[in-house]
């Protein structure tokens, strides 16, 4: 019961940043006038989120996935994840709907939350590190999800309601992972590798191109800052 309480707590804290990102985006929309500074902040936030995602892959998902996999299964799962996300990404693009950014965020959030629950019973520090990564990467992603929803006609209130409800999906995903995957390390490793392949595809297909501004180098520094956050978290927790 003690573990379940911690899982709910950690997944709640990592998930609430989905809603907080929306609130920050609402305040940003209201108080910042259109201009180069606003564009720099938007693109830097995208790059920052990308840097954190790469750190999550480098320090958590891939190392844990590789630890219990031989070369061939590891390669198939990692590349299979990239192919899977390729088809999902194409489907979303064809739909051209307002939920494209939201769905992309969930494709990161939900698998990682499942992994959080699955690894928590084995290593609490790893679970905490993963929760920190998830929470930090959700913040800039939900910041941009709110903006995407607004540009397609959703009211501010509806945008925040959607993001608030989505913030709870991590709790259910983490409990699912804890209940069914904690004694299945191979399956957990498979999930991590599939997620890693898919997320890395999204970073180079969607996130990195969106972060670039002509003749402006600030967003690239945001990516480095995001990766540094992952390095610091890994070092502090000693995982």
Q: Are 143 and 207 in contact (CB under 8 A)?
A: no
pLDDT of residue 74: 92
Question: What range does the domain containing 83 cover?
Answer: 2-237
DSSP 216: B
According to the model, what pLDDT value does residue 98 have? 47
- Report the alpha-carbon angle 42-40-29, nearest 5: 45
Tokens 């997944």 correspond to 11
Ramachandran area for residue 96 (φ above 0: left; ψ -120 to 50: alpha; else beta)? left
First to last CA, the chain: 24
* 3 state SS of 18: helix
- The pLDDT of residue 96 is 62
Handedness of CA 147, 148, 149, 151 (dihedral sign): positive
Domains in the chain: how many in total? 1
Predicted TM-score (pTM) of the model is 0.76
> Phi then psi for 98, rounded to 5 degrees?
-75, -10
Of 103, 83, 84, the closest CA to residue 93 belongs to 103
**pLDDT per residue of the chain (239 residues) written in tens, 0 to 9:** 577 888 888 888 888 999 999 999 898 888 777 767 777 777 787 788 778 878 878 887 788 788 888 899 999 999 999 998 888 877 777 766 545 567 667 766 777 788 788 777 677 777 777 788 788 778 877 887 887 788 777 788 888 998 998 888 888 888 888 888 777 778 878 888 888 888 888 788 777 766 667 666 777 788 888 888 878 877 776 65
Q: 213 - beta bridge partners? A: 216
> What pLDDT shows up at residue 105?
73
| pLDDT value of residue 97 | 56
Q: 51 — phi, psi (to 5°)?
A: -65, -40
Phi first, then psi, for residue 148 (nearest 5°) are -65, -45
Burial class (CB in 10 A: 0-12, 13-18, 19+), 214: exposed
What whole-number distance in Å separates Cα of residue 15 and Cα of residue 40? 26
């Amino acid at each position: 019961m003690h573990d379940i309480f911690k899982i709910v707590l950690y997944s709640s804290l990592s998930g609430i940043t989905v809603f907080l990102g929306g609130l920050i985006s609402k305040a940003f929309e209201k108080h910042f006038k259109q201009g180069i500074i606003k564009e720099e902040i938007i693109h830097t936030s995208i790059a920052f989120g990308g840097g954190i995602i790469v750190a999550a892959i480098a320090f958590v998902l891939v190392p844990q996935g590789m630890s219990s996999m031989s070369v061939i299964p590891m390669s198939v799962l990692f590349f299979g994840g990239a192919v899977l996300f390729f088809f999902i990404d194409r489907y979303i693009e064809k739909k051209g709907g307002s939920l494209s950014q939201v769905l992309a965020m969930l494709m990161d959030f939900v698998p990682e939350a499942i992994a959080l629950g699955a690894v928590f019973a084995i290593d609490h520090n790893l679970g905490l590190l993963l929760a920190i990564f998830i929470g930090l990467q959700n913040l800039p992603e939900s910041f941009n999800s709110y903006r995407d929803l607004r540009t397609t006609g959703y009211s501010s209130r509806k945008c925040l309601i959607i993001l608030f409800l989505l913030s709870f999906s991590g709790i259910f995903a983490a409990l699912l992972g804890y209940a069914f995957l904690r004694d299945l390390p191979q399956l957990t490793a498979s999930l991590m590798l599939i997620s890693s392949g898919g997320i890395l595809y999204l970073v180079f297909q969607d996130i990195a191109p969106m972060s670039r501004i002509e003749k402006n180098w600030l967003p690239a520094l945001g990516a480095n800052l995001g990766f540094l956050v992952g390095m610091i978290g890994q070092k502090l927790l000693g995982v």
